[in-house]
Structure 1
């Protein structure tokens, strides 16, 4: 029997089995990080959206493609937008949004463009029932960062999108 015990001792020495009990290796709890509010629903952006975009304001647009040029800006900007001389750097798709959501997202887009020094962006409203497509130009006219906008050329969405120049 001593030979067997020597074999077991030799085996244990060679293998060196670690017999830890799992409950003895408890890890310290990790501190939970506080969540930051999401960027699109901050009160500041909601206030901007409500301040800049009134539903009762109606601008007068000439016949033909939807276009607008702010006071003091060259009307040549409209021609450049129509030709696609300004490629959009940011895109916003309003498909499936309510009017309130669309206003918040438009305000966030314009804010992002101003912060990141982006000259041109594109907003696609789609065709659908036409509610957002109809209201979008009236909302954009009210925003002080908008220099001009024009119905997008076919390569950038055609009559379902607008190209917007930002100050």
Structure 2
């Protein structure tokens, strides 16, 4: 379809004065991207930090007395040391105000951070509240391969509303 001279004139009057555009001759600089291996490594690290705990798993934990657990092959004396307060936590995680989904993610991230920060003892403050996290946190900890033992925390670290856990450190992470 052709545009008539009259339509061109009407268009020019409606637009007014027009200034021609200057052609931009600056070309974007290409920065070297991250190598594929670094991206894969970062992705796998993120997946490790998001360890998936099962809510259906029911470990055989002692229902009498304070909450405690010792992984098979770990000296039971370590639990006594946790109970007596011989270990002080290197990292503390407070789960107050979090729902189960958020608490699971935070706990997985904490266990991942233990390896990076070389934290052997951690404190997880779950609170008492309606006993949801108080019951779930031990079930999740039992499932993680790095958790050697845990015990209800001494009063100075939260007592009945917290757990102290011993973490097995691996040499796969370097301190930065």
**Do Structure 1 and Structure 2 share a fold, with TM-score over 0.5?**
yes
Count of equivalent residues: 126
CA apart distance, 1:52: 3.7
Q: Deviations over 1:8-43 (max 9, x none)?
A: xxxxxxxxxxxxxxxxxxxxxxxxxxxxxxxxxx97
2:44 is aligned with 1:76 = no
Report the counterpart of residue 53 of structure 1 in structure 2. Answer: 53
Report the counterpart of residue 98 of structure 1 in structure 2. Answer: 99
Give the Cα–Cα distance (whole angstroms) in 2 for the partners of residues 95 and 43 of structure 1: 29
Give the Cα–Cα distance (whole angstroms) in 2 for the partners of residues 123 and 93 of structure 1: 6
Gapped runs of 5+ residues in structure 2? 1-41, 169-176
Gapped runs of 5+ residues in structure 1? 1-41
Give the Cα–Cα distance (whole angstroms) in 2 for the partners of residues 143 and 125 of structure 1: 17
Asked whether the equivalents of residues 114 and 145 of structure 1 are also in contact (C-alpha less than 8 Å), the reply is: no
SS at the partner of 2:93?
Answer: strand
Asked whether the equivalents of residues 45 and 104 of structure 1 are also in contact (C-alpha less than 8 Å), the reply is: no
SS at the partner of 1:122?
Answer: strand
Give the Cα–Cα distance (whole angstroms) in 2 for the partners of residues 97 and 43 of structure 1: 25
Report the counterpart of residue 31 of structure 1 in structure 2. Answer: none
Give the Cα–Cα distance (whole angstroms) in 2 for the partners of residues 125 and 49 of structure 1: 20
| TM-score, length of structure 2 as denominator length | 0.67
CA apart distance, 1:142: 0.2
- Detail structure 1 runs of 4+ shifted over 4 Å in the superposition: 42-51
- Taking only aligned residues, the RMSD between alpha carbons, in angstroms, comes to 1.8
Q: Deviations over 1:121-158 (max 9, x none)?
A: 10000011111111000000000010100000111100
Report the counterpart of residue 131 of structure 1 in structure 2. Answer: 132
